Amino acid sequence: MKATSRTAELSNLQFSLLLALPVLVFLLLVVAYPLGYALWMSFHEIVFFGGYKATFVGFDNFVDVLTDKKFQKSLWITIRFTVESVMLAMVIGLLLALVLNRPMRFGGLVRTLVILPWCVSLYGTGVMFSYLAKGQTGIGTALAFAFGINDDVNFVNRDWVIEVLAIGNAWNMAPLVAFFLLANLKTIPRRLYDLAAIDRMSHVEVFRNVTLPPLRFTLFVFTCITTVLSMKLFDFIFVLSGGGPGTASATLTYRIYKESFKDLDLGYGAAMSFMLLALILGSTFLLYFLWGRREASTP
Amino acid sequence: MNQLSMTVAGATALALINGAVQAQSLEAESGESVYFRGWQYKTDIVQDNVDRYNDEQSGKVDYATVTGDYPALMEQNLIAGAELDVLYANPSQAGRYFDGGWIMPAEELDNIDAIKADMYPNILEAWTYKGKLLGLSYFVSTRGVMHVNLKKYNELGYTDADFPKDWDALYDQLYEMRDKGLEQPFLPHWLSEWYGISWAFDFEVMNRGGEIADGETHVPLLTTDADGPAYKTLEDWKRVWNDGLVPEEVLTYNESSYIDAYASGRYVFSPQQLYDLETFNREDRSQIAGHASLLPYQGQSWGLLDSAVYLMTSRERADAHTEDVKRFSNWYGYQNHESEVFVGNRWMQESMLFSGYKSVMESDAAAERMKSALAREEDIPVVLEVYANTPYPKGIWSVVWAEEFNSWLKETLQDFLQDDGDIVETIEAINEQITDLNAKYNL
């Protein structure tokens, strides 16, 4: 009998770690280093004028952020914008998926058209919605003129700017949601709908008992994804409203930009960015706690 | 040869030598690229100028525009030591960049004395920071000069004799116009650009005789008394905003939307850029062409001195490369190899952009250009008088925190209008912000 050499072989764990090593090194460089540097900055006051200087200030930046009224206002704006964006993106995405799942002529063309908004850059989306929503060039004014009203209808104002931003954001994200849900819908066996028809279920009952259950986990995952994407959104907001009018749409990302790059208060901006990180993590944990756990335990 | 002919011959020879020396000195020599960046304004003309320099002086100038939040983006580029050699800047940015150690003042140019001698003293003072001239002239203008749409003004029964002489009279006339049936006669300078509503406050306070901060110490100077310039400015703003005399949408306008809105002919008065008189009097651009005029100086100034300079960065470069940067700056920002202020003159002809140089502004070509750009010939002395009386906000612009204060003021004033803010509290907040910024920078 021939003796086998155990030391020459890698275990499964070792082999998988070896394969993952380049990715881990890459992540360390592109994630861990900037994150660590940002953490270091958040404990310092950084001055560029009269010579670069970084002074350790402990938790002062974090305390200042928490007591800053502008931060509190931006926090509320971010939550409002995120809730509206996510709700719109999920509802529109679900409706699109249901429509696309039906047999139709030129289905391929329609699916291509539906995915297009997701392909548009956030900068481009911002420019487009800016034109659509402002009174000078907007759709509201065009409609008003069509009905003989000679007045500008401007939606980029204090009362509506968040809704305009949420609609634009949902327009960009909903196609992605729709396509993942559509993939899910395609896995539902046709016979379940036949059985539902035999049971004489109404459309609402069919949706609730046949269509929705297999979609619930995907809905949960995309609720988390769209929440994170909305909370960290910056370029679209910057282009469309620039945080205004005034501070009406100054989300946390906009506030971080202003503190860090306009006022060059990098320590304070870094501390604020960790608050945003906490908000994102807190929101996703909350979603998991309230919803995800149930979905994960469902067979 | 008599003495006169000898003198002429000598002077001619000197001029030829001087010209030859200058021609030689403006030619690029290092073979390195010179990176030139600016904001978006008639980029085709800028590119054409750069191409001309590259062709005639063997240059390797790489020109591109920067879109978005220009001051912040340029600051990040400068901090990062990015490939950037020559850039546009307003004086308020230039001082901050200088304090950051990111720019090389124009004082480094060999012909700086000639350049200074050709500059108007008030412009030279505005662009001088801590005793050094920071940059060369791109343009000079009055922003916030009060444009009048004569067509609408005359339709309402007014003539030149009724022109308001100051801000108080202007606001009174706006209400008269509303009573005559024109609901929104005024397009205020409250646009969303970084130079929008904040500059509107700056110039209105100065036009009313106030100062926001001291020119030397930068100590805040606004008072909360009801007759003070800041109080009256905010009081009138609040009044016209709450009474709907101005379009709410102006808070979202960018520069082109703002110009388009006034060019539509819907408004009678609007504080605009002085050189945009040319735009508003162009038939292909404006519905009030031939009717765009301005309020004259009648003891009160209008607007503020708006200007831009070409700056040279101080990033690490080989000496030969830095010399090329200086040569290009000289050619572009002052005189070309033929001793002509080529770019300055071209801007005057293309867009009626005023220059900081006497040799441009006092030329016959400039006078002809102004004449063709204005609705009426009698507006020429009006333009020059308004321009000559324009104030410069040294206390809040010639200081390191200028841009921080400006962006804070923009948010604060827009919120003041939308939240129906308290006037006294707002003025106190402005003073407090200046005090905090002075403390932050140990001023």
Contact of B76 with chain A, judged by CB distance below 8 Å, is answered with: yes
**Which residues of A fall within a CB distance of 8 Å from B101?**
51
| Residue B125 three-state SS | helix
Residue B281 burial by Cβ neighbours in a 10 Å radius (0-12, 13-18, 19+): buried
Task: Specify the higher pLDDT residue, A8 or B346.
Answer: B346
B191-219 pLDDT tens trace: 998 899 999 999 999 999 999 999 999 99
At A6, list the tokens.
């155990």
| Residue B254 three-state SS | coil
Contact of A148 with chain B, judged by CB distance below 8 Å, is answered with: no
Determine contact, residues B317/B325, Cβ cutoff 8 Å: yes
Would you call A247 and B415 a contact, using CB atoms and an 8 Å cutoff? yes
Q: Is the pLDDT of residue A68 over 80?
A: yes
Note the pLDDT of residue A298.
65
* Averaged pLDDT for residues A114-118: 92
Q: Is the pLDDT of residue B259 over 80?
A: yes
Interface test with A, best of B252, B257, B266, B443 (most A CBs within 10 A): B252
* Averaged pLDDT for residues B107-119: 94
Q: Is the pLDDT of residue B24 over 70?
A: no
Q: Is B93 left (phi over 0), alpha (psi -120 to 50) or beta?
A: alpha
- In chain B, how long is the greatest CA-to-CA distance? 82
Would you call B192 and A244 a contact, using CB atoms and an 8 Å cutoff? yes
Q: How close A90 gets to chain B, by Cα (Å)?
A: 29
CA A62 vs. chain centroid, Å, equals: 25
Minimum mean pLDDT among A30-34, B18-22, B183-187, B282-286: which range?
Answer: B18-22
Note the pLDDT of residue A293.
85
Would you call A49 and B407 a contact, using CB atoms and an 8 Å cutoff? no
Cis peptide preceding A245, ω within 30 of 0? yes
Of A136, A241, A248, Cβ closest to residue B261: A136
Would you call B248 and A238 a contact, using CB atoms and an 8 Å cutoff? no
Q: Is the pTM of this model over 0.90?
A: no
How many residues comprise chain A?
299
Q: Where are the domains of chain A?
A: 55-297
**ipTM, two decimals:** 0.80
Contact of A232 with chain B, judged by CB distance below 8 Å, is answered with: no
Note the pLDDT of residue B103.
94
| A-B contacts (CB, under 8 Å) | 75
Would you call A241 and B252 a contact, using CB atoms and an 8 Å cutoff? yes
B369-420 pLDDT tens trace: 888 888 888 888 898 888 888 999 999 999 999 989 999 999 999 999 999 9
Would you call B99 and A49 a contact, using CB atoms and an 8 Å cutoff? yes
Q: How confident is the model at residue B247 (pLDDT cuts 50, 70, 90)?
A: very high
* Averaged pLDDT for residues B253-268: 93
**Which residues of B fall within a CB distance of 8 Å from A51?**
101
DSSP string, A109-126: HHHHHHHHHHHS-HHHHH
Q: How confident is the model at residue A177 (pLDDT cuts 50, 70, 90)?
A: very high
Contact of A258 with chain B, judged by CB distance below 8 Å, is answered with: yes
* Averaged pLDDT for residues A89-95: 97
In chain A, the N- to C-terminal Cα span, in Å, equals 48
Q: How confident is the model at residue B5 (pLDDT cuts 50, 70, 90)?
A: very low
* Averaged pLDDT for residues B84-94: 94
**Which residues of A fall within a CB distance of 8 Å from B69?**
238, 261-262
Q: How close B262 gets to chain A, by Cα (Å)?
A: 12
Note the pLDDT of residue A116.
93
Contact of A246 with chain B, judged by CB distance below 8 Å, is answered with: yes
Would you call B252 and A156 a contact, using CB atoms and an 8 Å cutoff? yes
Q: How close A241 gets to chain B, by Cα (Å)?
A: 7
Structural domains present in chain B: 29-141+306-370 (3.40.190.10), 151-305+385-440 (3.40.190.10)
For residue B179, CA distances in Å to A9, A164, B173 come to: 93, 35, 10
Q: How confident is the model at residue B16 (pLDDT cuts 50, 70, 90)?
A: very low
Q: How close B240 gets to chain A, by Cα (Å)?
A: 17
The helix (run of H) or strand (run of E) holding residue B25 is helix B3-25
- The angle formed by the CA atoms of residues B60, B61 and B65, to the nearest 5 degrees, is 150
Minimum mean pLDDT among A3-12, A252-261, A262-271, B39-48: which range?
Answer: A3-12
* Averaged pLDDT for residues A125-133: 94
Would you call B248 and A154 a contact, using CB atoms and an 8 Å cutoff? yes
Interface test with B, best of A152, A164, A266 (most B CBs within 10 A): A152
B34-38 vs B61-65, strand pairing mode: parallel
Interface test with A, best of B407, B411, B417, B426 (most A CBs within 10 A): B411
* Averaged pLDDT for residues A147-166: 91
| Angle, helix A266-287 to helix A212-231, in steps of 10 degrees | 170
Note the pLDDT of residue B6.
43
**Which residues of B fall within a CB distance of 8 Å from A245?**
192, 251-252, 414, 418
**Which residues of A fall within a CB distance of 8 Å from B252?**
134, 154, 156-157, 241, 244-245
What chain A residue is nearest to B183 in terms of C-alpha separation? A151
Contact of A136 with chain B, judged by CB distance below 8 Å, is answered with: yes
Q: How confident is the model at residue B15 (pLDDT cuts 50, 70, 90)?
A: very low
Note the pLDDT of residue A221.
94
Q: Is the pLDDT of residue B10 over 50?
A: no
Which amino acid is located at B331 in the chain? W
SS3 of chain A: the string is: CCCCCCCCCCCHHHHHHHHHHHHHHHHHHHHHHHHHHHHHHHCEEEECCCCCEEEECCCHHHHHHHCCHHHHHHHHHHHHHHHHHHHHHHHHHHHHHHHHCCCCCCHHHHHHHHHHHHHCCHHHHHHHHHHHHCCCCCHHHHHHHHCCCCCCCCCCCCCCHHHHHHHHHHHHHHHHHHHHHHHHHCCCCHHHHHHHHHCCCCHHHHHHHHHHHHHHHHHHHHHHHHHHHHHCCCHHHHHHCCCCCCCCCCCHHHHHHHHHHHCCCHHHHHHHHHHHHHHHHHHHHHHHHHHHHHHHHCC
Of B79, B96, B257, Cβ closest to residue A136: B257
As a whole-number percent, the residues of chain B with pLDDT over 90 amount to 77
Look-up of token digits 């020459």: A8
Cβ neighbours around A117 below 10 Å, total: 17
Cβ neighbours around A109 below 10 Å, total: 10
What chain A residue is nearest to B417 in terms of C-alpha separation? A246
Contact of B181 with chain A, judged by CB distance below 8 Å, is answered with: no
What chain B residue is nearest to A235 in terms of C-alpha separation? B68
Determine contact, residues A203/A102, Cβ cutoff 8 Å: no
Q: How far apart are CA A203 and CA A209, in angstroms?
A: 10
Note the pLDDT of residue B7.
41
Contact of B256 with chain A, judged by CB distance below 8 Å, is answered with: no
What chain B residue is nearest to A46 in terms of C-alpha separation? B440
B119-159 pLDDT tens trace: 998 899 999 999 999 999 999 999 999 999 999 999 999 99
Of A51, A244, A258, Cβ closest to residue B251: A244
* Averaged pLDDT for residues A8-34: 86
Q: Is the pLDDT of residue A48 over 90?
A: no
Q: How confident is the model at residue A105 (pLDDT cuts 50, 70, 90)?
A: confident
Note the pLDDT of residue A4.
52
**Which residues of B fall within a CB distance of 8 Å from A49?**
96, 99-100, 400, 441
Would you call A134 and B257 a contact, using CB atoms and an 8 Å cutoff? yes
Q: Is the pLDDT of residue B18 over 60?
A: no
SS3 of chain B: the string is: CCHHHHHHHHHHHHHHHHHHHHHHHCCCCCCCCEEEEECCCCHHHHHHHHHHHHHHCCCCEEEEECCCCHHHHHHHHHHHCCCCCEEEECHHHHHHHHHCCCEECHHHCCCHHHHHHCECHHHHHHCEECCEECCEEEEEEEEEEEEEEHHHHHHCCCCHHHCCCCHHHHHHHHHHHHHCCCCCCECCCCCCCCCCHHHHHHHHHHHCCCCCECCCCCCECCCCCCCCHHHHHHHHHHHHHHCCCCCHHHHHCCHHHHHHHHHCCCCCEEEEECCHHHHHCCCCCCCCCCCEEECCCCCCCCCEEEEEEEEEECCCCCHHHHHHHHHHHHHHHCCCCCCCCHHHHHHHHHHCCECCEHHHHCCHHHHHHHHHHCCCCCHHHHHHHHHHCCCCCHHHHCCCCHHHHHHHHHHHHHHHHHCCCCHHHHHHHHHHHHHHHHHHCCC
At B384, list the tokens.
């020059």
Fold of A55-297: MetI-like fold (1.10.3720)
Q: Is the pLDDT of residue B22 over 50?
A: no
| Residue B364 three-state SS | helix
